[in-house]
Amino acid sequence: MYNNVQIISDLCNQVNVIQDMKLEDEISQKKFRCEAHKLGVNLIYTFNWLDARYVNFFKDYGITGQQFNILRILRGQHPKPATIKLLKDRMLDKMSDASRIVEKLRVKGLVARDISKEDRRHCDVLISEKGLQLLTEIDKQNEYLDSFCQNLGDNEVRQLNELLDKLRG
């Protein structure tokens, strides 16, 4: 789990590294076919940059980002159960195998699963008390997670969210 000293240390390291981070320097590529090409490369690079930080963060809690995503969906549904289909529809990574992720969470005691006797394809999933406690523990680190965007002001964060929505629109 992250403590305050680790958070401050990580933030200082991020500030020193990020201030001069330019895509061209990071990937040693000076020319792009056009700005749209550079944007595509930049989005992929930035996704991987963020993903590495999330992977490292969640490792301390013994879960993956996909497992965290499922737990958050289930917490939002709580106390009602969710079906595997609902989980698949709401997951951030649409290529994930929700059934496999739920099984791993069940083995860890973070969710409970109820398979229908009439239709074995139908499965209700509930977050367990242990799962809720884990999310409460992770929630204490929201400020650290938000720090990944520390180089942007509030208006820039809002604008970037709007531009990303527009890009997918």
Instruction: Please tell me the pTM assigned to this model.
Output: 0.81
Strand segments (E) across 50-152? 82-83, 111-115, 123-127
Mean local confidence (pLDDT), 36-63? 94
Q: Report, at the CATH architecture level, how domain 65-138 is classified.
A: Orthogonal Bundle (1.10)
Dig out the tokens for 44 from the structure: 């992929």
What's the confidence (pLDDT) of residue 19? Answer: 52
40: phi then psi, degrees, rounded to nearest 5: -60, -45
Residue at 141: amino acid letter: Q
Chain segment 144-166, per-residue pLDDT in tens: 999 989 999 999 999 999 999 99
Does residue 168 carry a pLDDT above 70? yes
Mean local confidence (pLDDT), 14-28? 68
Residue at 73: amino acid letter: I
CA distance 124 to 80: 9
Domain positions in the chain are 4-61+142-160, 65-138
What's the confidence (pLDDT) of residue 100? Answer: 95
Chain segment 106-122, per-residue pLDDT in tens: 999 999 998 766 766 67
Of 79, 84, 45, 48, nearest to 65 (Cα)? 48
